[in-house]
Structure 1
Amino acid sequence: MTTVEDTPRVAERGLPVGGVQRKRGAALEQAILQAAFDELSRVGYTAFSVEAVAARARTGKASIYRRWATKQDLVWDALTAVLPSPADCGLVERIPDSVTTVQALYDIARTIASVITSPAGDVIRTIKCEAASDPELAKLVDERFQAPRRAAMLALLRRGVERGEVRPDAATQLVADVLPAVLSHRVIMLRERLGEREIRQIMEQVVIPLVEAR
């Protein structure tokens, strides 16, 4: 007979506790990642706790720590599971020759706009705001989130230089930050809807004049 003292061991084996079948393996990992994202959405990064995630996922903290050594690792894997990768945004290593730099930038702008106006975008914005007063978190945000996307954008601009579509002095990290920064500003600070018209205005008035070869 299962006693109260046996309950943690029973849960670890994935056996029913209180009539509920516990998840295991990949199903448990997915449940933990979803619980982590839900908790981030509710309380933000500062108040985020592994204990709360464990409760949401109906598992123990030990199950989480066996898979993720730190809170930061869990947070970023949860975000990675819902946020598009640089490649999903159109920032791929090899772009077909038929696609111009401007066309690629339009596609990237549309994807970024859809992300930052989504629930996942709400979470990453909250984390970025909290990073303003947390240097360690700020470093993590840049290393795990912004740096890979900046590098991919820079590679796109360098490709444009090789094709004669982008000015050589526009292929810089500073310029690579401009498009996502402008899009984020319009949503976060100005509460603006980012439809096709707004994206076209940003591209035609800011991005294209900034990068195009003259």
Structure 2
Amino acid sequence: MVAGGLPAARVRVVDNAPDHPAELDRDTARTDLGLSRTGPVVLCLARLAPPKRPDLVVRAIAQVPGVRLLVAGDGVLRAEVEGLVRELDLGGRVEVLGDRRDVARLLAAADLVVLSSDSEGLPITVLEAMAAGVPVVASRVGGLIDLDPDAVRLVEPDDVDALGAAVSELLSDPALALAQAVRARELVAQRFSTSAMDRGYRAVVRELVGRPAPPADASSI
């Protein structure tokens, strides 16, 4: 907005707060999805449309043997993604699920969430994964750049090799993945809670109507 000409002094940012997925049992989630209880599972949760670049995730997974990829989402790139899966002979390792309403189950079953967009704001899917304690690998773009690097692994956009290397490293180092997941949950609690979002919107409204802020313990405008 500032780059488009809006004075920076007029810009207020209120971060979104993700839904906190229900805590589901990993083994049960995998059984429900027809997955093995062992073996790494990577989840790409995104619209299959520009600028999400799901093709990069598929190509990166092709570089990491033994990994199962679930692609949850639909859109104009679905046929292209399915064609790429056939081209790379990944039919046994990559499943394109289409639109889903069981995000909590998918996150419970996953060891890692990957988002390889060319551009982003601050994706709700990343915040949902962080809230669920699932490590994230994502492109270094948009609002993702401002996240704590200890909470989300960022790689340069449009770089299949870097994406594959980051996936491989986190899957092969459980302690590193756990530390990232713990920090991510802390960050969500600190910065992306529903109470923080509520306070942000209330502050904007008060500023617009010219009313002073109420005491810290007040619960209404």
Instruction: Provide TM-score, normalisation by structure 1.
Output: 0.26
Query: Per residue, is there more strand in 1 or in 2?
Result: 2
Considering Cα pairs closer than 8 Å and 6+ residues apart, tell me whether 1 or 2 has the greater RCO.
2
- Which protein is bigger by CA-based radius of gyration? 1
Instruction: Provide TM-score, normalisation by structure 2.
Output: 0.25
